[in-house]
Each structure stands twice: as structure tokens, then as C-alpha cells.
Amino acid sequence: MISIAIAIFWLVLDQLTKIILPKVMSWYETIEIIPGVLNISLVKNYGAAFGMLAGKSWLLVPIAVVFVVYLIVEREKINSIPLARWGAPLAAAGALGNAIDRAFLGYVVDFIDVPFFSVFNVADIGITIGIFLLLVGLVLNERNHKDGASDV
């Protein structure tokens, strides 16, 4: 149940930011928050991470849906692994958030601008942290099972 609450919270947070910011900012406008470190820059991302696969929404949306379906199908196994239990809903919400943008807008709304890195959004944070937690949880769980220990 907590997994569903996490996913819904993260998805709503993602979508609200993507609805509100275009109403209060112009596209490609930048607001400096911490000079040289953090800006709010409203951009349209037609690709995946770092703009890769630009214009391939027809491919990216089904990949996101398959990923979320996989997490749902494997939820019992995932929920038995504490780190994965926290990571799966974040990753799923992030994947769905960006898929919603791609399906309805044809692009993803990005706005968190770290000048020395990239421009991303709340969904991307969920995907990154979620997949990290999933992978670490699965690796530690596998290692513990090989060592005869209990789940991590």
C-alpha cells in the first residue's frame, strides 16, 4: 500500500510541476536560483535522457509502459526487498510521468537546470533514484541469498 502512495505522490508532484511552470514561465526562459549551480529553465525535450532518441516517442512510450507492467507483475518479489520496495514506485511514477508528457504533448517538460550537467524534471529524479534503489536492493538481496543470509 505504501508503494502505491509513493507512486501516486511522485506522479502527481511531477505532473503538477509540468502543468504550473508553463503557466508562469515562457518556454526556454531561465531563472537563476543558485548562480552556476541551479536554474529553472523551462524546455521541451523531444528525446530521452540527455536528448537521446529525439522524436522517438512512438518507441519511448511503450518502453515505459512495459517497464511499469513488469514492476507490477513482479511486485511481490520487489516488495520483499526493502530497497527495491522504495525504488520501484519512484521509477514507475517517473516512467509514467514522462510517458504521459510524450503521449499527450509529444515532448517532455524539463525545468531543473544544473548548468554543468543537464536539464531534467521530477520524473527523471524518480527514475534515477528508483532504478538505483532497485538495482542495489536486487544485488544485495542476491548476494545475501548466496551467503545464506536473509533479505536486505
What are the pLDDT digits (tens) for 60-108? 888 999 999 999 999 999 999 999 999 999 999 999 999 999 999 999 9
**What pLDDT is attached to residue 2?**
86
53 band by pLDDT with thresholds 50, 70 and 90: low
Check 101, 110, 113, 147 and give the catalytic one: 110
Q: What is the mean pLDDT of the chain?
A: 91
Q: Which residue has the higher pLDDT, 56 or 61?
A: 61
**What pLDDT is attached to residue 30?**
97
Q: What is the mean pLDDT of residues 2-14?
A: 95
Q: Which residue has the higher pLDDT, 43 or 149?
A: 43
Query: Percentage of the chain surpassing pLDDT 90?
Result: 76
Q: What is the mean pLDDT of residues 25-32?
A: 98
Mark whether 113 is an active-site residue: no
List C-alpha distances in Å: 77 to 11, 125, 134: 23, 23, 11
Mark whether 151 is an active-site residue: no
**What pLDDT is attached to residue 50?**
61
The answer to whether residue 57 scores a pLDDT higher than 70 is: no
115 band by pLDDT with thresholds 50, 70 and 90: very high
**98: Cβ–Cβ under 8 A, 6 or more apart, which residues?**
60, 64, 108, 121, 123, 124, 127
Check 14, 101, 113, 124 and give the catalytic one: 124
**What pLDDT is attached to residue 47?**
80
Instruction: Label residues 46-63 b or e (16+ Cβ within 10 Å = b).
Output: bbbeeeeeeeebeebbee
Nearest to 39 by CA among 114, 125, 122: 114
